[in-house]
Structure 1
Amino acid sequence: MNPLCSRCNLVVYPTEKINCLDKYWHSRCFRCEVCNMSLNMKNYKGFEKRPYCNAHYPRVNYTCVADTPENLRLKQQSKTQSQVLYKEDFEKNKGKSYTVVTDTPELQRLKKSQDQVSNFKYHEEFEKSKSSHVQEDFERSKTQHHQPGNPASAPYQPPAAPQGYHYNPAPEPVRPAAAAPPPSAGKRYRAVYDYAAADEDEVSFMDGDVIVDVQQIDEGWMYGRVERTNQQGMLPANYVEAI
C-alpha cells in the first residue's frame, strides 16, 4: 500500500516519493514551510520534522537574564569558587610538569634502538665484570698457593720430641719443579679463557685448547699438558672445564 503525502495528504507513488524527516512527500510538495521554495535532499534543513530553506531555518533564541543583585551575587560566588579550586589545583600540581609525547613510528624505532643498545651494553658490562671476577679469584688463589704461610704450601715440620728422647728426623721430600705427577687416567679438559704463565712451573694456553693428563693439585690448581703445544705445567682450575 502506498503512503500518503505529509503535506497534501494524497497517495505518494514510488516514482515521485521522497522519504525524509520520517515522513513521505511528493517531490512537488517538498517545499519550505515559510517561503514555499522547492527543496531537495541537498538543500533542505529540518526543524521539528518540517522542511525549511536556509534563509528561513528557525534560529535558536537565547534568553537574556537581567543583572539583578541576586544574579550578581551568584555570579561573584561562582567566580570566587572557581578561583579557589584553581588555586588548590595549582598548589597541588606545583612543580610538576607533564609532557605528552605522541607514540609515532619514529619514536617507536628510536625506543627499540635504545633498548637494543642498552641490552648490548648490559651484556658487555656483565662479561667484563665476569672476567674481572675470574681474574681476581685466580690471583687470590695463586697468591694463597705461593704464600709461605699457606698450610698447603708450607714444608712439613716434625713434632717436638719428648724430653729425654733423641731421634733423627726423616729428610723432607722435595719434588723438582719440572717433574710432572703421574697422569690421572686420561682426564681431558678444555680451556675457556686465555692464560699466560706467570712462573716457570706454569704453562700458557689459549681459549679452546685441549689439556690432557690432568692431575688435580688443590681446589685452585691443576697439572696438565697442553695438547697443541705439548708443554706441561701448572694451570688454574677455574680457567678450564672438563670434556
Structure 2
Amino acid sequence: MNPQCSRCNKVVYPTEKVNCLDKYWHKGCFSCEVCKMTLNMKNYKGFDKKPYCSQHYPKTSFTIVADTPENLRLKQQSKMQSQVLYKEDFEKNKGKGFSVVSDTPELQRVRKTQDQISNIKYHEDFEKSRMGGEGTPTDAFPNPGYQQPPQSQQPPRSPSNNYDPQPHVRSAAVPPPSSGGKRYRAVYDYAAADEDEVSFADGDMILDVQQIDEGWMFGRVERTGQQGMLPANYVEAI
C-alpha cells in the first residue's frame, strides 16, 4: 500500500516518492516551509521534522528567548526590585552626608598627610616672609647683647644690609677718629649695647665715619659729641 504525502495528504507513488525526515513527500511537495522553494536531498535543512531552505532555516538565539512573555515579566520584576532597593538605601542614608565615608582609615590617613603638608608649607612661607625672600632671619637667633629698635623703626631687611650686628664680627681695635671721615645721617634710633658703641637718635648727624667691616662703622655723633662703633645699616651716607 502506497503512503500519503506529508504535504498534500495524497497517495505517493514510488516513481515520485521522497523519503526524508521520517516522512514521505511528493518530489514537488518537498519544499521550504516558508518560501515554498522546491528542495532536494542535497540542499534541504530539517528542523522539527520539517524541511527548510538555508535562508529560512530557524536560528536559535538569545534574543528570541529574551523576548518571551515570561522572560519579559522576569526582567521587569527584577528592574522594579532594584529600584525599590535603591530607594530604600537612599532613604536610609539621606541626611547622613559623608560622615561614614570620611571616617574610613584610608581617608583619615590622607587627611592627616594633607594637614602635615599644610603645616610644612605654612612654616616655609613664614620663614621666607621673615627672611625677606632669602638669607637667614635675624630674628631667629637674637644676640643677647643686641638691643633691637622699636618695631616701627627697625631697618629694612634686604640682601644689601641683611646682617647680624654681633660683637664677634667687629674688629678688636677701634680706630681713632679722623677729621677726613665721611658724613652720615641716622635713619633709626640705636641704643649702645657695649662699652665701645655709641647711641644716637633718628636724624642725628654722624661725623668722621670710617668703615670697619661690612656691618660696622666708627663715627662721632654731632649732637652728643660721643664717638664709638655703630651698625652700618642704621645710617645712610650724605
| TM-score range normalised by the length of the shorter chain | 0.3 to 0.5
- Normalising by structure 2, what TM-score? 0.35
The normalised TM-score by structure 1 is 0.35
